[in-house]
Amino acid sequence: MTTSDVLDTAGRARSPATMPGFGRGRAPRNKGLRFPADPPTVEEIVAVMRCAGDSRHGLRTRALIVVLWRAGLRISEALPLAESDLDRSRGSILIRRGKGGRRREVGWDAWAWQHLNAWLEIRVAMRVGALLCVAERANARATLDADRGARDAAPARGHRRGAPALRPHQLRHAHAVEMAREGVPLLVIQRQLGHANLGITSIYLQGIDSSEIIDTVHRRPAPILPASAGLR
């Protein structure tokens, strides 16, 4: 492992991975791979947020988690965000270049804004750049980190503090499953996630447990029939 590789994983300010255009022309390391939906529970996500702590690096990690989780963004969409892409009055985030170069606007809830505010308050004193810029003198205590290291979370760090290991894309899966449970129409979930077709969205919803499906169908009310359509 070279020095650059170490700096990339650590997300240091002088790392080549933090420079504009670093990933241009590089194929994603997960290209062509397919992973089953594996959404974490709310309790597991909150445990990781607590594990991050209240340091500058911890607040940045919490901000990244809520962006991925509550807006359902890809890690490649979250890291380039600028503060100007946030619209607090509308409760939205502008994705200037999503997968396939597509531009879209997604919704975001008030709870997520509250957790982002703590990071924004200290972000103003840092250098101009991305919303989730590198926090120098990082105290890497959480299982999910930003920048280059966001794609390779360090499970051992979280396990030592009793938190589960999370991958960034799992938070996107959690967002989709939670909205489905809340009764959000499938087309709205598709648009929120930026999927080209509903088939991809349906894969995300495979994370819904079979017992939940059985219980939901079991609780369906009896059909309402007109008197003339009786079975006798």
Active site residues: 74, 99, 169, 172, 195, 204
Q: Exposure string (b/e) for 172-181, b if CB count within 10 Å is 16 or more?
A: bbbbbbbbbe
Give φ, ψ of 99 to 5 degrees: -65, 135
DSSP character string of the chain: --HHHHHHHHT-TT-GGGSTTTTTTPPPTTTT------PPPHHHHHHHHHHH-SSHHHHHHHHHHHHHHHS---HHHHTT--GGGEETTTTEEEESS-GGG--EEEE--HHHHHHHHHHHHHHTTS-SS-TT---SS----SS--SGGGGGS--HHHHHHTTPPP--HHHHHHHHHHHHHHTT--HHHHHHHHT-SSHHHHHHHGGGS-HHHHHHHHHTPPPP---GGG---
Beta bridge partners of 116: none
CA-based nearest residue to 39, from 211, 156, 200, 167: 167
